[in-house]
């Protein structure tokens, strides 16, 4: 069995910022959507997003609002997400996403708009 070097040396991995010990009971604070910055609720309004789509070899997942997630996939193809828009700053800079972020910022955290359509439904 292969064990990571830091675990063999008896060093526990650092969880969180360096000034907070992992087991001091400190609350990490409320989670925020990486796209719009609004508070994430622990309910059906939260989805998991792969910044690089799984079909393009991505593995990492990030929690975000369902409406934000659907907007990303309605604007960009999986190839565009994998090559250009896997970075949050680049994604926020796109004109369609900037308009969406300005619009969604005024909505409550649990807001979900069912009228958003994805690329698959539009036949793209």
Cβ 49 vs Cβ 69: under 8 Å: yes
User: pLDDT in tens for each of the 124 residues of the chain?
Assistant: 344 444 444 444 433 333 434 445 555 667 999 999 999 998 888 999 999 999 999 999 999 999 999 999 999 999 999 999 999 999 999 999 999 999 999 999 888 876 555 555 556 5
Cβ 101 vs Cβ 34: under 8 Å: no
Q: pTM for this one?
A: 0.69
Query: What span, in angstroms and rounded, lies between the C-alpha atoms of 45 and 36?
Result: 14
* Domain ranges across the chain: 30-112
């Amino acid at each position: 069995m292969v064990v990571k070097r830091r675990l063999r040396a008896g060093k526990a991995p650092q969880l969180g910022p360096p000034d907070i010990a992992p087991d001091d009971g400190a609350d990490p604070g409320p989670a925020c959507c990486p796209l719009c910055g609004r508070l994430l609720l622990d309910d059906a309004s939260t989805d998991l997003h792969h910044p690089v789509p799984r079909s393009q070899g991505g593995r990492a997942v990030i929690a975000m609002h369902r409406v934000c997630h659907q907007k990303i996939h309605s604007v960009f193809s999986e190839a565009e997400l994998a090559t250009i828009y896997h970075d949050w700053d680049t994604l926020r800079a796109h004109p369609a996403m900037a308009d969406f972020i300005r619009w969604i910022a005024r909505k409550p955290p649990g807001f979900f708009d069912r009228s958003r359509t994805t690329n698959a439904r539009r036949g793209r």
